[in-house]
Chains A and B, each alone.
Chain A
Amino acid sequence: MTTQRSDATTTTAPPPAGGAATPDASGPIGTGSRGTRILGLATLAGIALAAYLALVSSPDDENMGDVVRIIYIHVPIVVVAYVGCMITTLGSVMYLWKKSRWWDVTAAASAEIAMVTTALTLVVGMCWARPTWGVWWVWDARLTSTAMLLLLLLGYLAVRRIPAESGARSKRASIVGVLLLPNVIIVNRSVTWWRSLHQDTTILNTLQPKIHGDMAFALYLAIPVALMMFAWLLVHRWRLAWLEEEVLDHDLDQAITDRRAEAGFDARSTTVDIGEATS
């Protein structure tokens, strides 16, 4: 289901008493719901189990030692970042095609989560690189392409904050959002396309995983748990993005009403057809 923003007609309804929207106890307060609370509790339980398996139960690696325990959080976060970028690209394409506000909000919410997790990917990766490679950072193909992905995500979010008419802003952001998926492919394949210090693909894009036993179980459990966390964040962030748009709309309506009142024009219960007004 999609919700279309109508720009053809501006309707000025009677403003509520006091000018601002009054809170109503019958409406939902915040971004939570019964479904998100159940999902949140399941995610917390999953995180506790995944952390136990990663930090206590699983053995250390014969080459990396205990540093391997960073992998159990690094890889799931990367997966969340990839999925977030994919959903942003999907939402951007669908917005350009359908001009649907629902898809635009979906893309924006997913992009912010992808930005946070991509930044965490780099930071956590640096914590792994220092004891393993002896340096915090090298301009390796995987690291550099991931940093470029982070810059692209920051660019997407920056474009959304440039003051502009709602449709133009969403269209510009969607064009940037379409570029995310090709970048994800470049990041993922960078270790095979170029000579890289970063280790080769461990579990993704291969039918022969290079991790086994308790270590594989800890990693394979952490990934769906991280995706559950992503789903929880996405639902909440989506509802927040929706509220941000609604607040903007209500503030704009209020400003128009105030300006008309200042000009001595009674705007109450008046519908103005922009098409008629401009013809």
Chain B
Amino acid sequence: MSDWAYVAMAWGITAVVLVAYAIWIIVRGRTLSRRVPPEDRRWM
């Protein structure tokens, strides 16, 4: 493989993992907040 293939692999894996993790947090947060009364959704 060329140098650029390794560069693309490193940047690509990082982007995919971080984007997937951020989406999981947002989606799960929206799902769970509907199960909690509004006054308890934030710590203050």
Contact = CB atoms under 8 A, between A and B. Distances in A.
Asked if A pairs with B, the answer is yes
Contact of A24 (B3, B7, B25, B38): B38
Contacts of B43: 3, 102, 105, 242
Given A65-B3, A233-B22, A236-B26, A28 B38 contact: yes
Given A69-B7, A246-B41, A21 B25 contact: no
Contact of A30 (B17, B26, B35): B26
Interface residues of A, number: 49
A127 B13 contact: yes
Interface in B1-44: 1, 3-4, 6-7, 9-11, 13-14, 17-18, 21-22, 25-26, 28-30, 32-44
A5 B35 CA distance: 20
B9 A127 contact: yes
B7 A28 contact: no
Interface stretch (A116-124, A173-181, A185-193): A116-124
A109 B41 CA distance: 16
Contact of A243 (B1, B7, B32, B39): B32
A16 B37 CA distance: 10
Nearest to B4: A66
A233 B20 CA distance: 12
Contacts of A236: 22, 25-26, 29
A120 B7 contact: no
Interface stretch (A70-78, A148-156, A208-216): A70-78
A247 B41 CA distance: 10
A30 B29 contact: yes
A65 B1 CA distance: 14
B33 A29 contact: yes
A20 interface: yes
B7 A247 contact: no
A84 to B, nearest CB: 13
Given A55-B7, A130-B6, A236-B22, A27 B30 contact: no
A232 B7 CA distance: 26
Contacts of B32: 240, 243-244, 246-247
B13 A250 contact: no
Given A124-B13, A233-B22, A239 B6 contact: no
Contacts of A24: 37-38
Interface of B: 1, 3-4, 6-7, 9-11, 13-14, 17-18, 21-22, 25-26, 28-30, 32-44
Given A29-B30, A123-B10, 9 more contacts: A16-B37, A30-B26, A67-B6, A73-B10, A233-B25, A239-B42, A240-B28, A243-B29, A246-B41
17 contacts: A26-B38, A27-B33, A31-B25, A31-B33, A32-B26, A70-B7, A73-B10, A116-B18, A120-B14, A127-B7, A131-B1, A232-B22, A233-B21, A236-B26, A242-B43, A246-B36, A247-B32
